[in-house]
Homo-oligomer: A and B are copies of this chain.
């Protein structure tokens, strides 16, 4: 990726042992002086910032200056971090900077090296008082009163860090930081988007986009539908959905599909499923594994409700997203 090298400046929250729980970046700047995030913050330019990071002596003064600017508080620490090139995730600074790049739509899913991201992120209690060490909740409660925990996880909710323009996320718990949501995307209550996954254009998402999965523009994921991920399953093939596709409610997808494809509601199409391929006259032409149909356009997948066979035929319907539902202003 030619966006590197780049520098991030932000604030991390600390536990009582001064270990970092998260990083909130206020400035992400590449060497073309392009600011990649929307926060407003004065800065002295890329070269100056770079020299601060590498020369500890100068860094101290600068830290002080920046700390005041960002109003670093108790249990917080200034973070200045530079990614020279895209390598395995080194630590929490690195992890958050890459997650930011994804949710800021500066990099698409599967373009960044995210190896070791689980190891780099601590397990954190996400509360109404912000990120808290899971062992320090009772302590906090005795000091601060009511503490409500919304999540105990390595990843925060995206919308607590970044709200991309033109999106709706009906239940913020269901979209992790690192999700890539394009303008015009609506993630409904039953939708879910993992980190390193998302939509490349307007989309209605009522199903689950697993890590590594990409959805093309004007596609519709019906309520409760599933896309197979590569993290916990045994699957090595990256799933993707093309443009103008419809995954029916409660359906599932185990192969990448092209444009203008439809998966019938309730049908789970795994890569190993045998499929009857029908011609436009509804005659069975051949039987193939679903994986053999990967990436093809204009297919309709159904389960024949009398014979019980999974069938694939040319898709002649087009899917039209309801535009009213996508004006997210």
Contact = CB atoms under 8 A, between A and B. Distances in A.
A190 interface: yes
A153 interface: yes
Best-surrounded residue of A134, A223, A265 (most CB of chain B within 10 A)? A223
Contacts of A234: 317, 319-320
A268 B167 CA distance: 30
Interface string A54-82: 00000000000000000100000000000
Contacts of A189: 173-174, 192
B149 A118 contact: no
A128 B157 CA distance: 14
Given A163-B137, A250-B252, A232 B325 contact: yes
A159 B125 contact: yes
Given A192-B189, A268-B266, A327-B119, A305 B274 contact: yes
A301 to B, nearest CB: 11
Nearest to A124: B168
Interface stretch (A42-50, A91-99, A105-113, A306-314): A306-314
Given A303-B308, A307-B308, A149 B174 contact: no
Contacts of A154: 168
B265 A265 contact: no
Interface of A is mostly: loop
Contact of A309 (B146, B266, B306, B327): B306
Contacts of A129: 146
A123 B328 contact: yes
Interface string A213-234: 0000000101110101001111
Given A252-B249, A324-B119, A325-B232, A305 B273 contact: yes
A226 B208 contact: no
A304 B273 CA distance: 8
Interface string A7-51: 000000000000000000000000000000011000000000000
Contacts of A206: 232
B171 A190 contact: no
A148 interface: yes
A244 interface: no
A243 interface: no
Contacts of A321: 232
A329 interface: yes
Contact of A152 (B39, B152, B163, B224): B163
Best-surrounded residue of A152, A304, A307 (most CB of chain B within 10 A)? A152
B249 A232 contact: no
B266 A249 contact: no
A264 interface: yes
A257 interface: no
A208 B232 contact: no
Given A122-B329, A222-B233, A248-B268, 7 more contacts: A119-B327, A123-B329, A151-B171, A189-B192, A208-B223, A250-B268, A276-B306
30 contacts: A38-B138, A39-B138, A118-B324, A123-B168, A126-B148, A129-B146, A130-B148, A137-B163, A147-B160, A150-B171, A151-B171, A152-B167, A152-B170, A152-B172, A170-B173, A208-B223, A223-B226, A224-B224, A224-B226, A224-B250, A226-B250, A232-B321, A232-B325, A248-B270, A250-B251, A254-B265, A264-B268, A265-B270, A274-B305, A308-B308
